[in-house]
Amino acid sequence: MKLTADQLREKYLNFFASKGHAVISGASLIPENDPTVLFTTAGMHPLVPYLLGEPHPAGQRLTNVQKCVRTGDIDAVGDTCHLTFFEMLGNWSLGEYFKKEAITWSFEFLTQELGFAVEQLHVTVFEGEGAIPRDTESIEVWKSLGIPAERIYALPKEDNWWGPAGTTGPCGPDTEMFIDTGLQSCAPECRPGCHCGKYIEIWNDVFMQYNKTAAGTYEPLPQSNVDTGMGVERTICMMNGHSNVYETELFAPLMAQIRELTTLQPDNEEQRVRAERIIADHMRTAVFILGDPKGGVKPGNLGANYVLRRLIRRSVRYAKILGIETGYTATLAALVIDNYKHVYPELEQNRDTIISELTGEEARFEKTLISGQREFDKVADALVDHRQTTLSGRTAFKLYDTYGFPLEFTEELAIERGLTVDRAGYDKAFKKHQELSKQSGGTFNGGLADNSKATTRLHTATHLLQRALQVVLGEHALQKGSNITPARLRFDFSHPNKMTSEEKQQVEDLVNQQIQRNLPITVETMTIEEAKERGAIALFAAKYGEQVKVYSAGDFSMEVCGGPHAETTGELGGFKIQKEESSSAGVRRIKAVITNLN
């Protein structure tokens, strides 16, 4: 059966609506109040509170289409089916139906609605590990539907366990559905899960029964949930008999344009195809990030901003390999917007921002790409001549600092020359640079009693506390005063009510999670307007155009501040709230300490 993406989305939502599911909207690509991930990576992600037990206003059976960004597979982009942006069709049971219904409906949709032959279907299930048993129930359901035992594969946790989306949260065993493309097996042991392209995974039913805690343990959830995700691009690719997702109507105009703009043919055909696909994939993802209704992500050096920068710069580099001229990002972005605006009107609304940000970043990178590449080649040639295999951290840092090469990007160039980058050396150079800029930042005059390690760490703790209070209580919870001694911090903030013990616990846990993530603390200088535009908390008035220092703790907190700070959140060891009391009308006061200092 031939089907367009528009028809597939509609068919899916109608099918699950007919099974009693409420159709809900997809969420923003930029997660709300979830510091554990940079982007929405799955349809379940915005539903985490409901998977943990909170009642959802639309009921216990939900379905939708969710835009997702995943960069974990970025190195696989260029093959037939891995993408950094994709649309996920999902259906959920929040503590209601479970394995039997979920699998039966998946099977019914695939075979009856989409017309896949039962013989094309291969499925995988969880084989069991430790205290969590083999998923025999799913095996039995698949058998009862007519999938023979030899097409049901029991695989370990690395294949058939899903989640959590970030570091903590709901997760569980899954059963994945693959379509056999009919290609030759790459080896006798080739089976679903193999990346040769014979088997393409199009759908995953996850049975979310566990919650992974910050301590790394799995606790049973109060309810057993179902979370499924079907990939739009892959499914229409398989239905329309295409050999890769770039042939579908979601990419075809982009691929045609890239070919038209190409002026250089790499010697190797495989290299050409890979470059074309990387350019198309990264441009589409960048357009969706820049066009997101929540907004606020711009090419930059931290967190989500860095991911966006890396995608754009990587695309520019591959465009150079194909001899594509400067300005191509605007041409390709316009095609993506036109192709998707009827489904995602925000792209049309944000057309100007999308195009100007892309062309701006393209131009910034163009300026340094050639000289950076020359610098890289010089060092790489010398290393190869001397039979050395490691590119120093100092060189990688120089390429980053002077030429704007993201570290991962230098690593890719290095691999092409048979070299590896000394990551530890890079981190060291990075830290040293931070240290120097801290010292040249002048005297520090915040509310600290001294500049000891203890007060510095407590100061970093106030940034984490400030952001955690906003996440738990709301954006209104802003600092009204702060006082730090080597023994404790005192933090006053606006909030109308006494905090409940649950809220206090949540805030404490959230701060401790950031400590465990060992986030780097980085500093940048920018104008106060830019700081605010980038979402930094700015507690103190600054004059228009004033340059300020902005401290970030990974992707979790960003605040205008004079410093000094710890180098990583891990240095804090642990965080404990000792007291929460009234300070004055509408202002609360927290006293807290750092525990388990290492």
> By the criterion CB under 6 A, which residues form the site for ligand SER?
42-44, 90, 162, 204, 206, 227-229
Nearer Cβ to ligand SER, position 66 or 456? 66
Q: What is the smallest separation between the CB atom of 160 and ligand SER, expressed in angstroms?
A: 11
b/e burial code for range 495-505 (CB count within 10 A of at least 16 → b):
beeebeeebbe
Nearer Cβ to ligand SER, position 90 or 562? 90
Distance set, CA 24 to CA 61, 306, 344, 467, 479 (Å) = 10, 31, 15, 29, 36
CB 233 within 8 A of CB 314: no
Nearest to 211 by CA among 38, 27, 44, 60: 44
Q: What is the smallest separation between the CB atom of 148 and ligand SER, expressed in angstroms?
A: 25
Nearer Cβ to ligand SER, position 44 or 358? 44
Helix and strand numbers (H, E) in the chain are 18, 18
Which residue number is nearest to ligand SER in terms of Cβ? 229
Nearer Cβ to ligand SER, position 229 or 406? 229
Alpha carbon distance, N-terminus to C-terminus of the chain: 62
Chain-centroid distance of CA 204 in Å reads: 19
Within 8 A by CB and 6+ apart from 254, the residues are 280, 283, 284, 332, 335, 336, 339
Q: What is the smallest separation between the CB atom of 115 and ligand SER, expressed in angstroms?
A: 23
Q: What is the smallest separation between the CB atom of 43 and ligand SER, expressed in angstroms?
A: 5
Distance set, CA 558 to CA 67, 140, 195, 209, 523 (Å) = 26, 50, 39, 34, 9
Q: Which amino acid is at 349?
A: Q
- Read off the DSSP letter of residue 544: T
Query: Read out DSSP for 388-429?
Result: --EE-HHHHHHHHHHH---HHHHHHHHHHTT-EE-HHHHHHH
Nearer Cβ to ligand SER, position 30 or 47? 47
Name the token pair of 474.
Answer: 């709301």
Nearer Cβ to ligand SER, position 8 or 206? 206
Nearer Cβ to ligand SER, position 229 or 564? 229
Q: What is the smallest separation between the CB atom of 512 and ligand SER, expressed in angstroms?
A: 26
Q: What is the smallest separation between the CB atom of 356 and ligand SER, expressed in angstroms?
A: 33
Element (H, E) at 382: helix 351-385
Q: What is the smallest separation between the CB atom of 16 and ligand SER, expressed in angstroms?
A: 13
Nearest to 68 by CA among 262, 296, 283, 229: 229
CB 306 within 8 A of CB 405: no
Q: What is the smallest separation between the CB atom of 176 and ligand SER, expressed in angstroms?
A: 8
Q: What is the smallest separation between the CB atom of 446 and ligand SER, expressed in angstroms?
A: 43
CB 418 within 8 A of CB 385: no
Nearer Cβ to ligand SER, position 164 or 406? 164
Nearer Cβ to ligand SER, position 170 or 372? 170
Q: What is the smallest separation between the CB atom of 340 and ligand SER, expressed in angstroms?
A: 21
Nearer Cβ to ligand SER, position 174 or 580? 174
Tell me the backbone φ, ψ of residue 20, rounded to 5 degrees: 80, 15
Within 8 A by CB and 6+ apart from 563, the residues are 438, 441, 444, 446, 459, 523, 549, 551
